[in-house]
Structure 1
Amino acid sequence: MKTSDRVLLGSGVLIPCWLLLGVALTALAYPGYSHLQQAMSELGAQGAPTHGFSAWVNNLPLGLLFILFGLGVARRFAGSKLALLSALLIGLHGLGSLGTGYFACDQGCAPAQPSLSQQLHNLAGLLMFVSLTLACALWIVLARRLLQSPGLALFSALCLVLAIVTVWLMATEVASGQLFGLYQRLNYGISVLWVAALALQVLRASVGRTAQPSTAASAM
């Protein structure tokens, strides 16, 4: 595998680390911010103390990492139409992340009369959820077919179920907002951990393929 392909796939491993550090560090500059109750988008909302830099620390770099990882998946599995579809979905998730950063939500992120920016922010967020959830679903099949990994297939199925359950819990907390932040973090955390698991498995399988010819040559 080329070094450039390893870098592209390695970006998937970096995503959960970037998300954790980016949100945690940005929240430190937001007095009284609650990870349990407030959405991550509130860090970049209009009027928020962190509005000026949150998107540059979180949404935009994460969007680029997802696009790079999607490109890596496409290059690695260019012969599989389903894998290419999953790569496209991962790339669309990255574009959605860029959109949620560019179109900031209104203050509080849940106004009675949302602005155009809020509406576009919501659409970009919906694109993020749908695209990555569908990509995860595809790898329930692809993990066995392309990587011979029943473990990744099972993990993908588990992440799919948990993503749907947690988004339902988010919906139940929209009105009260008591634990919306917690459920959102669980939902997205599950998704980015799945991405990292996929990246690691693809990198491991690629290293194994590279090592096999060398082992065979040594035995001759």
Structure 2
Amino acid sequence: MEIQDVLDGITELARGWGELAEHSCSRERHRFRRVGDITVTGSLAFTAPSPPEWHEHDTVPRGRYPVFMGVVEEPEPGGAAGRPPSWTSLTVVPLAEPEVIAEALEAGRYEEVYQDYQPFGPEIGVLWGEGAGSRHDLDALEAALAEGEAAGRVPNVVEVVADQETGANLLAFRVWGACDADGVELYAPDGSVVCLVLTTNC
């Protein structure tokens, strides 16, 4: 089984989660791309830059994991809505082999883990590990993303390595119309987390 099969299944499932905007989970609108890796040295978070409070994923084993993002490319960016040329609608962090994640999807072993408001957006999202710290240089992230937009970079994702020794890092990316986030964890039969699905609400 290929990871793309799992991503397609997650897209279909995510259509029914929470108050997701319709465009967030439209297969016609976004295309998954591998945007890099995230190094987990403790907990993991999916938030706005420098959030005042947040929910953590604290059951993810330490390690380095691939990150896939559903990226929407706008045929006519800007306009009254102020849409960027490209932006992220859905983020998936696989922690196990595709077959294991697919089995969890089929068995319905998943749950939404943010029970309260998760600060996100409105224009930038950040996936970051505990070792990368919760204070982020918003001006530097904005400048790097603006440079990517000017250069036509798709996906427009910026990596910052905060600790060279451990590899602790963050991934910053452009979002649109976001005001908070949802997080869903998928589980193996023994209760261990096999995949994170992270989405934006507006």
Same structural fold, with TM-score higher than 0.5 when normalized by the shorter chain: no
- Greater strand share, structure number: 2
TM-score for both structures, normalised by structure 2: 0.26
Higher alpha-carbon Rg? 1
Structure with the bigger percentage of helix: 1
TM-score, reference length from structure 1: 0.25
